[in-house]
Amino acid sequence: MEPSEVVYSRERRVPTGRWVAIGVGALVAGAAIWAAIHYASGNTVKADAGSEGAIPLVTATAPGLSPVTATVSFTGTINARYDISISTDGETGRVSAIYVEVGDHVKAGQLLAQLDETILKPQVERLAASLEESKANAALADAEYKRAQGVEAAGALSKEDIEKRRSAAVTAAAEVRIAAAQLNEYEQRLGHTSIRAPADGVVLTRAVEVGQIATPGGTALFRLAAGSEIEMRALVAEQDLPSLAVGQAASIYMTGVEKPFKGKVRLLGAIIDPQSRLGEARIALQPDPLLRPGAFARGEVVVGKGEKPILPQTAVQSDEKGTYVLIVNADNRLERRDVRAAETTEQGIVVASGLTGQEKVVMTAGGFLRVGEQVEVAAATGKGS
């Protein structure tokens, strides 16, 4: 029968040549899929003509142990350790003069700004004069009372007159104290028109201009970094907080600045934010003109050094059960080994637990292999090979 001949059955006509072509195509496609699986990622398949199935040829390496440094990384902002807001204490007034600018170093008690005092000064002067008058009256009343006491034995004055003079002396003395208290009150009010630094430090902000009305409880006129102390307020992941401790050295990096700033962990927060799952850490820093409050920064703290296996990213896989690698056991069969990855470095993924470093770990194409499958190891390069 010629290849182009069509054979008909009793019920249906079937083109035999077409079925042959379809069968050959299916076999070719199946072979291609099988080869793709067993040859993926550079692995080759070795098969004997008499064997029932081909054994994948894989590359496995014992990674050994490499020195690694465990670090905790975080981000945050630069802040003044003691950020003091300065405004007028008790007087509303118009600003008449400003004596400092942002960045100035000031001493405790130094004059920062002055409010208008043209109303309070005359009142203070009036009360000062009233106090002097009260003192004079008190001195006169006291003298008259003492003279009355001197002639009391001779009977020149009645007891009633003597009592009146004593009462006048007491009243005059009380008026002196009232006048002194009033004068002190207005002197204090006059003193509050002078805005002074409460401590040594650096002026961070100035939010006032000459002519502006300053009111108690209003917008702060100045912000002062008391003692010029600077710190970083960092947000640290919940799982990293237990690794930190007060006193640990830290390296702080800022955008546009090549050198790191050295600091120490000063304080660890007592709570974890339930929404972000972050806690606070405060890093004390040495004062530096480049450390400007409000600037974004990132930091690192070395929390440990040791030796851990390091694997390429292609060797580490994950599924719903977690992170794992495939290892070749003594029978040349694949086993799943659950691992915990610590961090990713330029050399690869640091394995914190799950491996000793002596296991033969499949380095590539693990996704195309099955647990329990028999394989043949092509090479075991690297540490521990």
CATH number of the domain enclosing 354: 2.40.420.20
The residue among 305, 339, 359 that closes a domain is: 305
Task: Tell me the DSSP string of 84-146.
Answer: EEE--SS--EEEEEE---TT-EE-TT-EEEEE--TTHHHHHHHHHHHHHHHHHHHHHHHHHHH
- Would 1 be classed as within a structural domain? no
Same domain, yes or no: 103 and 194: yes
- Would 139 be classed as within a structural domain? yes
pLDDT band for position 19 (cuts 50, 70, 90): very low
Same domain, yes or no: 39 and 119: no
| Distance from C-alpha of 117 to C-alpha of 58, rounded to nearest angstrom | 90
Output the pLDDT for position 170: 92
Same domain, yes or no: 192 and 98: yes
| Distance from C-alpha of 298 to C-alpha of 255, rounded to nearest angstrom | 9
- Would 49 be classed as within a structural domain? no
- Would 86 be classed as within a structural domain? no
Same domain, yes or no: 269 and 337: no
Which residue has 């083109």 as its token pair?
Answer: 15
Whether residue 364 contacts residue 338, with contact meaning beta carbons closer than 8 Å, is answered with no
- Would 384 be classed as within a structural domain? no
Q: Is the pLDDT higher at 340 or at 367?
A: 340
Sheet containing strand 340-344, edge to edge, reads: 310-311, 349-353, 340-344
Same domain, yes or no: 112 and 166: yes
Residue 73's nearest CA partner among 380, 283, 295, 225 is 283
| Distance from C-alpha of 205 to C-alpha of 22, rounded to nearest angstrom | 82
Same domain, yes or no: 197 and 285: no
The residue among 260, 282, 305 that closes a domain is: 305
Rg of the Cα atoms in the chain: 45
Give yes or no for residue 41 having a pLDDT over 60. Answer: no
Same domain, yes or no: 323 and 293: no
pLDDT band for position 42 (cuts 50, 70, 90): very low
pLDDT band for position 365 (cuts 50, 70, 90): confident
Number of domains in the chain: 4
Measure CA 115 to chain center. 39
Residue 366's nearest CA partner among 30, 40, 34 is 40
pLDDT single digits (tens) 183-240: 999 999 898 899 999 999 999 999 999 999 998 888 899 999 998 889 999 999 998 9
- Would 131 be classed as within a structural domain? yes
Pairing type for strands 55-61 and 376-379 reads parallel
List of residues 6+ apart from 18 with CB closer than 8 A: none
Same domain, yes or no: 190 and 104: yes
Which tokens go with 366? Answer: 């693990």
Output the pLDDT for position 153: 64
Domain that holds residue 298: 72-81+229-305
- Would 88 be classed as within a structural domain? no
Same domain, yes or no: 123 and 200: yes
Same domain, yes or no: 115 and 218: yes
Output the pLDDT for position 379: 57
| Distance from C-alpha of 207 to C-alpha of 219, rounded to nearest angstrom | 8
Which residue has 């050994």 as its token pair?
Answer: 64
Min mean pLDDT across 15-19, 61-65, 96-100, 321-325 is at 15-19
Length of the chain: 385
CB atoms within 10 A of CB 145: 20
Same domain, yes or no: 115 and 235: no
Sign of CA dihedral 349, 355, 357, 360: negative
- Would 110 be classed as within a structural domain? yes
Q: Which helix (H) or strand (E) holds 208?
A: none
The residue among 180, 203, 222 that closes a domain is: 222
Same domain, yes or no: 148 and 117: yes
pLDDT single digits (tens) 301-320: 998 888 899 999 999 999 99
CATH number of the domain enclosing 236: 2.40.30.170
Reduced to 3 states (helix: H, G, I; strand: E, B; else coil), residue 273 is coil
What is the rounded average pLDDT of the residues 238-256? Answer: 93
69-83: b or e for each residue (b if 16 or more CB lie within 10 Å)? Answer: ebbbebebebbbbee
